[in-house]
Structures are given as structure tokens and as C-alpha cells.
Amino acid sequence: MSASIREPELHIRAYFFLTIAALCWGGNAVVGKLAIGHVSPMMLTLWRWAFACAIIFAISIPQLKKDWPVARQHLPLLFTLGAIGYTLFNVLLYSAVHYTTAINATIEQAAIPFLIFLANLILFRIRISIAQVLGFSLTLVGVALTASHGDLKSLLALEMNFGDVLMLGAIVGYAAYTILLRWRPPIDWRTLMAIPALAALICTIPLVGWEISRGTAIWPDAPGWLAVLYTALFASLVAQIFYVQGIVHIGANRAGLFINLVPVFGTLLSVIILGEELAAFHVIALVLALGGIAIAERWKPKQT
């Protein structure tokens, strides 16, 4: 089979991987909202990565031994990936949903592709098209509309919800994680998942200690453990593995665009499961997010 025939198949595979990752992440904010009162944010993050580490290491020991000579040389990068992409993002997300809605938390994640695009442009001069600029601009308008709760004037008055501010830090962190994947070492995906997951677990331990010292730690009850299992299996393992596979196949700029599907899935799940109100500005923001990804992907440069 020729390379020209294989390439479309690889793209379809990447689209599938990235769509499933977005679905898992869309449910992450919803689960974080459901977990309120059942498990505290730092405790949820700790147990999430404890379970994820147990699973990924159980299936990766032989591969880890094979990759260790290379992985050992890149431990600082791998630990940074875990600290930023796994710990920082999720701690801020689970804290944000205490102050803002799950719908807002998911729609605001549509800013991640724009930040990835901007960093790639500034740092690596990766070629872009006018259509991509338009697509990202539409996404930003949608994010601003959501963050301001339908009142763009409030952005000028700096009247954003504290939860929205936390989400801003979360999306900056995940965009940085995606950019750093550019320097991922030549190791198997299992090793690329396992070592950052261990780093995430280690980084979360002092945060749980801080939560305990403040008297705000909540040990998981039955619903809390269900939240832990969902985040460990789907938001951690399935989503992260599929996202990395998508980047491998089509690059960070194009893979990052699929994060725009997170608001779509997250909003639908928030309305269906949480019964949150779907306002007109939410619908407009979703249309802008989908329009942005469609325009940018349809008229992408020939080389990304």
C-alpha cells in the first residue's frame, strides 16, 4: 500500500482518537462538578493519578525496561509534562468548578488551540493560513463570550468569575504541555504516559497536604470514588493516550483544534446530567467553536 493511500487512513485514525479524547475530557468537568462535596479537588487529583499509575505501570513494565535508557536521559522533560499537563491543569479545573459552571469550564477550554497555534507561530514559525487565523479568532470570541457570561463589556471591567480565572491558568498550562510534546523522546506511548503520570502523582502529594492543613480535604465517599475511577480511566488514560496518538499523526496545531470539541461534549453532558441551564450565549459560543475548527481544518496549509 502506497504512502498516499496510507496517509488518509492515518488522518481518519487521528480524527477518531482526538474525538474520543475530547469526549472523555468533556465529561471531566461534569464529573468534577458532581464530585463537589464528595471529594476535594486535591484529593480527587491524587487518587485519580494513583489509580492511573497503577493501571499504566501494570501494563507497561516490560516496555518501560526497554525504554528506560532513553527515558532516563529525558526525565526532566517527562516530569515537567506530568506536572503541567496532568497535575496543574486538573487541580485548577477541579477548583474552578467550585466557582463557575461546568459549561463555562468546558467552553473556555476552546482557547487552548489558539494558544498552541500562537506559541507554534512565535517559537517555531510554523506556517499558517488566513483561514486558520479566522478559525482561531472565532474560537477566541466564543471563549470571551462564555467567560463574560454573555456580557463582553464585563471583560473591560475585569468582572470575571474567580472560577473563570482559574480556568485561564488551566488552559495556559495545557497549551504549554502540548507544545512541550514537540520534544518528546523516541519512546513507546506507554512509557510516555507512565512517567508523567508518576510525576503527576508525586506533585499532587504536597497539594493534598496543603488541603489537609487548611481543613478543606474531603476523603472520597461512594460517589467520590466513582468520580475518581472515571477521571483515572477515561480523562487520564484513554484521553491522554489518544491525544498523544493524534499529535503523532497530524501534529500539535491540527490536533489541538479538536480540543474545540470538548466544549460541545461538555455542554451537552452538563445539560443532560447536571441540568445546567443552556443560555443563548452558550449556543453562540459552541457555534463559534465548531465553526473555528471547521474553517481552520478545511483550509489548512499543505504542510503543518
- pLDDT for 57 equals 92
**Mind giving me the DSSP string for the chain?**
--HHHHHHHHHHHHHHHHHHHHHHHHHHHHHHHHTTTTS-HHHHHHHHHHHHHHHHHHTTHHHHHHHHHHHHHTHHHHHHHIIIIIIIHHHHHHHHTTTS-HHHHHHGGGHHHHHHHHHHHHHH-----HHHHHHHHHHHHHHHHHHTTT-THHHHTT---HHHHHHHHHHHHHHHHHHHGGG--S--HHHHHHHHHHHHHHHHHHHHHHHHHTT------HHHHHHHHHIIIIIIIIHHHHHHHHHHHH-HHHHHHGGGHHHHHHHHHIIIII-----HHHHHHHHHHHHHHHHHHHT--S--
pLDDT tens by residue, 145-183: 765 667 666 555 545 678 888 888 998 998 898 889 889
Low-confidence ranges of the chain (pLDDT < 50): 1-5, 158, 304
Contact 103, 163 (CB under 8 A): no
pTM of the complete model: 0.76
- pLDDT for 7 equals 60
- pLDDT for 149 equals 65
The single residue listed with the C-alpha cell 525504554 is 67
- pLDDT for 2 equals 42
Q: 186 Cβ partners below 8 Å, 6+ apart?
A: 70
Domain spans in the chain, listed from the N-terminal domain onward? 16-298
